A and B are shown apart, each in its own frame.
Chain A
Amino acid sequence: MTEWRDQIFEVLQDHDIKQVYHVPDAGHARVIELCQKSNSIRTLALTTEEEGIPLAAGAWLGGQRSALLMQSSGVGNTINLMGMTKTLRFPFLTLITMRGEPGEFNSWQYPMGQGTPKVLEAMGVLVMSVDKAEDVKQTVDHAARSAFNGGQAVAVLLRQKLIGIKNFGKSK
């Protein structure tokens, strides 16, 4: 089912987001592809999620809105520079596909997955969460409003329950 993923793209468009940053990610793949094909959004593939924070700051300096799409494992790469959202006080929106939650197959995903909400909160990021397809559109829309109208740094956690558990080719 791709419907909620299409809705995320629509919300990004509705909020006039002009730059979208990402590291390739299965959970975000559909949204990334829609952004790449869009005429109104510039899509930037990053070498590390860390680049996304100063990119967003630079875009805002120049009058453009942006969003960073990443996986929970990438959140740790951003934490020092995430402080820029506080020192510069600029609107920041990130959508995070979660790994390392109950049911996760890969033990290497647990530490950062479990740490993700805590480290984001420690850096002053407003953390929202969604685990049902029918709530995605409204949650992302509220997050974008808090960011671009309310001037906050906001993260939406797209829970593993929503995305589905990666099974590495095993049926159970």
Chain B
Amino acid sequence: MSTAKPTLQRRPLVKKILEGADDNLLVIAGLGSSNWDITAAGDRPLNMPLWGSMGATVSMGLGLALAQPSKRVLVITGDADLMMTLGALATVAAQSPDNLAICVLDNEKYGETGNQASHTSPRNNGPTDSGSGADLAMVAKGCGFADTGTVRDQADVAQLVKDLRTRKGPVFRLVKVMVEKLEFVMPPQDGAHLKDRFRQALLGSA
């Protein structure tokens, strides 16, 4: 496992991933930074940004992908959110929806609580900043994903975007991103409103 410091910045990366998003792209983002990231890229009704419910993101994407097999479903979330329900990856692999892509932005930290080390941080990183060196792409592979990968370099971003948007799913991509202090860019908070506007845009009625 590489120990080089990540250089990718999450905001421009997510903007690139969502560029030109149309009605065929349904996006679910995990709580905290991933939520602010997709919102910074442009709030839209077919975004479902979570404000809580840590550990729910991947499963929500699966339920949606199975209900809407003709749409592309993209889950964007963080390492610690996924770590909370690793078993959900096995459930995705068992169902194997070809329209689902999962992008994990791994900064090896709990960004919202003060950047404490998550389990994806290296093991011997001092008394306050050590994790287990967990490799979530390997976890996904071990759970049964046939298509997994890790992205660290700007040169691989164009291919990453293509894979997340168009490649036959289920696709799992781990992206190592920098720890940054970024502006909070917040979508509406009311969950019922977020759900209703999503259903209105997708189904024509809430």
Whether the pair B91, A63 counts as a contact (CB closer than 8 A) is: no
A51-B85, A61-B48, A61-B199 known; A89-B59 Cβ under 8 A: no
By beta carbon, the residue of chain B nearest A59 is: B63
Binary A-proximity of B115-157 (CB < 8 A = 1, otherwise 0): 0000000000000000000000000000000000000000000
Q: Which of B39-61 contact A (CB under 8 A)?
A: 48, 51-53, 55-57, 59-61
Look across to chain B and name the residue whose beta carbon is closest to the beta carbon of A58: B63
Interface size class of B (residues with CB under 8 A): 35 or more
Cβ B63 vs Cβ A57 within 8 A: yes
A88→B94 CA distance, assembly (Å): 27
B4 located at the interface, meaning its Cβ lies under 8 Å from any Cβ of chain A in the complex: no
Interface stretch of the complex, out of B13-21, B164-172, B187-195: B187-195
Most chain B beta-carbon contacts within 10 A, residue among A44, A45, A83: A44
> Which one of A45, A61, A66, A90 lies within 8 Å of B94 (CB-CB)?
A45
Contact A83 B64 (CB under 8 A): no
Q: Which of A18, A64, A88 contacts B192 (CB 8 A)?
A: A88
Please give the residue numbers on chain A whose beta carbons come within 8 Å of chain B beta carbons, in ascending order.
Answer: 18-19, 42, 44-48, 50-64, 66, 80-81, 83-84, 87-90
Beyond the given pairs A50-B85, A61-B60, 18 more chain A to chain B contacts, judged by CB atoms under 8 angstroms and listed by A's residue number, are A46-B87, A47-B87, A47-B90, A51-B87, A51-B91, A57-B63, A58-B59, A58-B60, A58-B61, A58-B65, A58-B67, A59-B67, A60-B63, A62-B202, A64-B63, A81-B56, A83-B52, A89-B192
